[in-house]
Every structure is written in C-alpha cells, then in structure tokens.
Amino acid sequence: MKIIVCAKQVPNTNEVKIDPVKGTLIRDGVPSILNPDDANALEAALQLKERYPGTTVTVISMGPPQATYMLRECLAMGADEAVLLSSRAFGGADTCATSTTLAAGIRKLGKFDLILAGRQAIDGDTAQVGPQTAQRLGVPSVTYVQKIREIKKNSIVVERNLEDGYEVIEVKMPCVLTAIKELNEPRYMTIAQIEEAYKKEITIWNENDINLAPSDCGLNASPTQVFRSFTPPPKGKGEMLTGTVPEMAAALIQKLREKHAL
C-alpha cells in the first residue's frame, strides 16, 4: 500500500506575530512546528505501515525552505521519504492554490492508495485543503476521521466524528482522509531515528518539476487573498455585579439598556 501524508509547517501558536505593515503572519525566525492534526495523520499512516507489510509512507509539504526541519521530524517519526514543494511562485497561496500545488506534487509521486491529511491547520484554520486536494485528484474524501476500523480489498472503513456521535463510512480507495486528534497519540522520535532522518535526502520540487505554470500557483492562482490579518484588541475586563439577586438583576438590565442590548 502507498500512503501519502500532507504535512504543514505552522508557527508555534503562542509565538504568532503579525507584520504591522503587510498585515501577514511573520514566519521568518518564528519557531515552527508540525501542524498538530498532521502529526495524527502521520501516526495513522505509520500504524497502517506496521499492520500491513510492504506499505510505504511519503510525506509531502508545500512551504518555505525551512519546512525541511518539519519534514525531518516526520522522517524521524518513521516516514520513508519526504518531498518539499518549495518556490517563490508558491508564495501567498490560498487554499485553492495550495491544493492545486499539492495535487500536482502528488500526481508526480504516481499511483497511491491513501492520502492522510490533518483536519485543520492551526494558522489558516480553514480545513479546506484536504477535501480540495481530493477534488483535484478526482478521489473521494472523508473528513474528521476519529478511527480507522479496517482496510478491505479496495475500500477502507472509518468512523467520522460528529457533534453528537459518529458515523461509520466505507469509502473506495484511493481516497483522502482528514485526521482529528482523537484518532491517535502521535509517537515520539528516538535519538537513533533523528540521526537516521538526517542521513535521508529530502526531495525538493519547484513549479517546473510538477508541471505547474506560475499562473497556476501562489498568489496568481488565489481567488482569496488575505487582505489583512491582525491580533484582535484584548477584550475589556468583565465587571462583577454585587448586592442581592434582585439588585444585581436590576443593575444588569440597566447596563444592557445603556448598551442598547435591551
């Protein structure tokens, strides 16, 4: 079985800084991590590799050159190979352009049985790229996967998380599944695996390597452009009302009236 994992390098959330002039996320020099849901996607792929001998796991990412650090982490967790799609031409990509680029990279990797992605990236937060990539590759997708029950000859049976429970879905392979944290507990890397990971070659492809015209990727191919991102002003301090219950109720109504909420 050939499994491909889509993994994104994201700013470590409590380090997010916004460029006050460009209104975009400052990524340079900001500690980056493997997107948490993608660690669950990779862990699921590695567990399938252990269950089904002959399975290979390839991690693919679209990102700046420093995304190789995140890919080495994936190799140290146990991935067989890693591919980075990196070029200035990919800059400013929205989810539409990101999924086009990932799909082009995956086509170049050839035939596959299963793609595992994270449900959501903690920076863009759109949860769009997984299903969009499936759409571009013409394969079905199941999102919010909390359990992989079984793999049959040409299909896979999974549990999809719902607000009030879950549904069991059997989907034809090849397909795309997006992982949530309930799916598993990602493994830790061992020192030996980290050393091994640094001996492995990471394949780096640009737009020419994956047959994409500059107009088909990055900002040029992005219907959605992040106009401005900003840190919302901190909310004002709450006010504690005191007195008897009727007094507090009366004071609350008064305040809501002053704010025209009543």
The yes or no reply on residue 55 touching ligand FAD (CB under 6 A) is no
Report yes or no: 25 and 229 within 8 Å, Cβ to Cβ.
yes
Place of tokens 């900001």: 30
Q: CA–CA separation, 26 vs 32, rounded Å?
A: 11
Report the 10 Å Cβ neighbour count for 65: 10
Question: Is 25 or 251 the residue whose CB approaches ligand FAD more closely?
Answer: 25
How far are the Cα atoms of 79, 107, 169 from residue 178, in angstroms, in the given order?
A: 18, 19, 13
Give the x/- contact pattern for ligand FAD in 33-52, rule: CB under 6 A: --x-xx--x-----------
- ∠ Cα 125 175 182 (to 5°): 50
Report yes or no: 48 and 55 within 8 Å, Cβ to Cβ.
yes
Closest residue to ligand FAD: CB criterion? 124
Give the x/- contact pattern for ligand FAD in 153-182, rule: CB under 6 A: ------------------------------
| Residues across the chain | 262
DSSP state of 18: B
Of 120-128, 148-156, 161-169, 247-255, the segment contacting ligand FAD by CB under 6 A is: 120-128
- Per CB under 6 A, which of residues 216..245 are in contact with ligand FAD? 224, 226, 229
- 259 CB-near residues (< 8 Å, 6+ apart): none
The yes or no reply on residue 63 touching ligand FAD (CB under 6 A) is yes
The yes or no reply on residue 208 touching ligand FAD (CB under 6 A) is no
**Shortest distance, CB of residue 63 to ligand FAD, whole angstroms?**
5
The yes or no reply on residue 126 touching ligand FAD (CB under 6 A) is yes
Residues that bind ligand FAD (CB under 6 A): 6-8, 25, 35, 37-38, 41, 61-63, 93-96, 98, 102, 117-118, 120-121, 123-130, 224, 226, 229
